[in-house]
A and B are shown apart, each in its own frame.
Chain A
Amino acid sequence: MHKANISRYFIIFFLVVFSLLAIFPLLWLLDFSLCKSGDFFVSGLLKIPDPPQFSNYLDAWVAGKIPMYLANSVIITFMTVALTVTFSLMLGYAFTRMKWKISNLAKGFILLGMMIPIEATLLPNYIIFSKIGLTDSYFGLILPYVAFNLPIGVFIISGFLQSFPRSIEESAVIDGCGIFGIIMKFIVPLSMPALVTIVVFSFVSNWNEFIMMLTFISKDSLRTLQFSIMRFAGKYTSNYAVQFAIMMMMTIPSLIIYLIFNRQITNGVMMGAIKG
């Protein structure tokens, strides 16, 4: 028993050291975001903010244009998640429950998307989008976001729907339901765990998406939260405290999302919802 205890303490110690390594840079940011800007230039690894400069956050809110970028992020992510879930469910239902000849072929076509890196579509999509007027519009981001989330969405929901017995449709038909009635009344409630996983994964991947946003959106007023720090750092290179405060503010929504969805992310990974 004694020996087991020692190895347990050793394990905990080892975990603590590495968890500090993982989050230390963030604590360092937090620390200097509360100091005066000039403190960054003074030696000393960390500094107790005396008194904490909360006004940095107020400045960051304004100079980082946080409300505008945050609103864009929320609108774009919300639309993307809603469309991804709806389309994934519709496709997944047609692929697993409906009877048609090229069903497998069509499913394979969508799943092939998992192999395509986003980066490879940047150049052609930039030209297409600018020709049809999709650049500098919300839809210029929502459409590619949905498209890149569909393969994983279909993958998750199909695996789930396959396990349902045929009797669902049989009894629903006797009740006089059409296909859309069946989906809304029976399939949606039954496949909630899979739908939640799709919501979480498309949320996380789009909230943090950067390179498509940078490529397809050049109007500042339409860019997402990701851009806030780039814009500020480009303009006020040496105002470190406010710069760090912006970074902390950009991190907070992600942290909240993580705290809410923590369990679903783990469950989702267990269901195989991963893409590099």
Chain B
Amino acid sequence: MDKMLSNKTTILMLVLPGILVFALVIPVPLLLSVFYGMTNYNIVTAPHFVGLSNFINILKDQVFWISLLHCFIIAAGLVFIQHPLALAFALVLNKVGGRAEKYFRAAYFIPAIIPVTVITAMWKNVFNPQFGFLNKLLEALGLGNLKMDFMGNPHTALLSIVFISIWYGFGWAVLIYYAGVKGLPEELFEAAKIDGAGRIRRLFSMTIPLLRPVLIVNLSLAIIAGLKSMTIVYLTTGGSVGNASQVVANYFYKVAFTSQQYGYGNALSVLFVIICMIVTVSFNKVTDGSRIEF
């Protein structure tokens, strides 16, 4: 049997199709991206090797740094607004029980499964400066002077993006915490209750420490989601005039395909992967390598 399980031909047949597809779509293009990042390629004329000059230019590129800052602002919105709420909901939801629990779980998750093009078109209409729900609501409340073009105004564009990101990802955040809460040992809490530990005490000295692995995984996902924000920006503000709501991925996409600085776009894209990987790896270090475990 050992012979059969170490048969080289069988192993190759099992592994080759998957590895090939994976390698050709992910690692190989990334290496190619590093190469293009060192050229002045513009898709039309042949690429010229320019060494590290693209990467040096990034250091001086204001738009890149602003975009990175915006990514971290979105991440902060997720970490400090979405996640405390999501955790609270997961804990409360766990106490509801029965049909109601199922209904609420579904209600919170529904936005997360709707196509992003619908989500963004919907919010664009809600924020519509003349006829959108939000402005009509402000008017109805007698706050007509607050009416504004929330997405078009560069001062509020990024805020709208943060808001949509929080709303759209809320269901996933709740679900992950909920799965974590469901996995907590019930007996332990019963014992603590009998020993006279109050609700607040149980929350801070039992629930949150026990949820540590889930918290770390979920928060790392939130930071990565902030870094990777692109689609919502692409479909709503496009980064706004003066890049007031620009994010990194949308920026290099625009640089490569709209401004046709494909080489420079790739350099940005390479730096972007490196930043994402540093964040992921440092979070994995915190969890002592026990990646995603409940």
Interface residues of A (CB under 8 A from B): 11-12, 14-15, 18-19, 22-23, 25-26, 28-29, 40-41, 43-45, 83, 87-88, 90-91, 93-94, 97-100, 106, 109-110, 112-113, 115-128, 143-144, 146-148, 150-151, 154, 169-170, 173, 178-179, 204, 207-208, 210-211, 225-230, 233, 240, 243-244, 247, 250-251, 254-255, 257-258, 262, 265-266, 269-270, 272, 274-276
Q: Does B64 contact A (CB under 8 A)?
A: no
Given A15-B92, A250-B117, CB of A123 within 8 Å of CB of B33: yes
Contact A98 B126 (CB under 8 A): no
Contact B7 A119 (CB under 8 A): no
Q: Does B131 contact A (CB under 8 A)?
A: yes
Q: Does B110 contact A (CB under 8 A)?
A: yes
What residue in chain B is nearest A182 (Cβ atoms)?
B4
Q: Which residues on B sit within 8 Å (CB–CB) of A233?
A: 121
User: Looking at the complex, which of B52-60, B93-101, B238-246 is the stretch in contact with chain A?
Assistant: B93-101
Q: Does B69 contact A (CB under 8 A)?
A: no
Contact B136 A274 (CB under 8 A): no
Within 8 Å by CB of B175, from A122, A226, A240, A266, lies A266
Contact B21 A11 (CB under 8 A): no
- Chain B residue total in the interface (Cβ 8 A): 101
In the complex the two chains form, what is the Cα distance from A240 to B132 in whole Å? 11
In the complex the two chains form, what is the Cα distance from A170 to B1 in whole Å? 7
User: Looking at the complex, which of B149-157, B187-195, B268-276 is the stretch in contact with chain A?
Assistant: B268-276
Majority SS of interface residues in chain A? helix
Q: Which residues on A sit within 8 Å (CB–CB) of B231?
A: 210-211
Contact B104 A225 (CB under 8 A): no
In the complex the two chains form, what is the Cα distance from A275 to B121 in whole Å? 25
Majority SS of interface residues in chain B? helix
Given A15-B93, A147-B21, A226-B115, CB of A123 within 8 Å of CB of B256: yes
Restricting to B90-129, which residues have a CB under 8 Å from any CB of A? Answer: 92-93, 95-96, 100, 103-111, 113-118, 121-123, 125-126
Q: Does B183 contact A (CB under 8 A)?
A: yes
In the complex the two chains form, what is the Cα distance from A12 to B92 in whole Å? 9
What residue in chain A is nearest B217 (Cβ atoms)?
A274
In the complex the two chains form, what is the Cα distance from A127 to B100 in whole Å? 51
B229 CB → nearest A CB, Å = 9
What residue in chain B is nearest A224 (Cβ atoms)?
B115
Within 8 Å by CB of A254, from B115, B170, B235, lies B115
Q: Which residues on A sit within 8 Å (CB–CB) of B116?
A: 208, 210, 226
In the complex the two chains form, what is the Cα distance from A160 to B173 in whole Å? 25
In the complex the two chains form, what is the Cα distance from A98 to B273 in whole Å? 33
Closest 9 CB pairs of A and B: A147-B25, A124-B29, A19-B107, A87-B18, A276-B221, A119-B249, A272-B292, A94-B14, A124-B33
In the complex the two chains form, what is the Cα distance from A17 to B266 in whole Å? 46
Contact B115 A94 (CB under 8 A): no
24 contacts between A and B (CB under 8 A): A12-B100, A15-B100, A22-B108, A22-B111, A90-B17, A91-B19, A93-B14, A110-B18, A120-B270, A120-B273, A123-B33, A125-B25, A127-B262, A150-B18, A170-B1, A173-B4, A179-B14, A247-B121, A251-B118, A254-B114, A265-B109, A274-B172, A274-B217, A276-B221
In the complex the two chains form, what is the Cα distance from A258 to B26 in whole Å? 29
Given A146-B21, A266-B179, CB of A26 within 8 Å of CB of B108: no
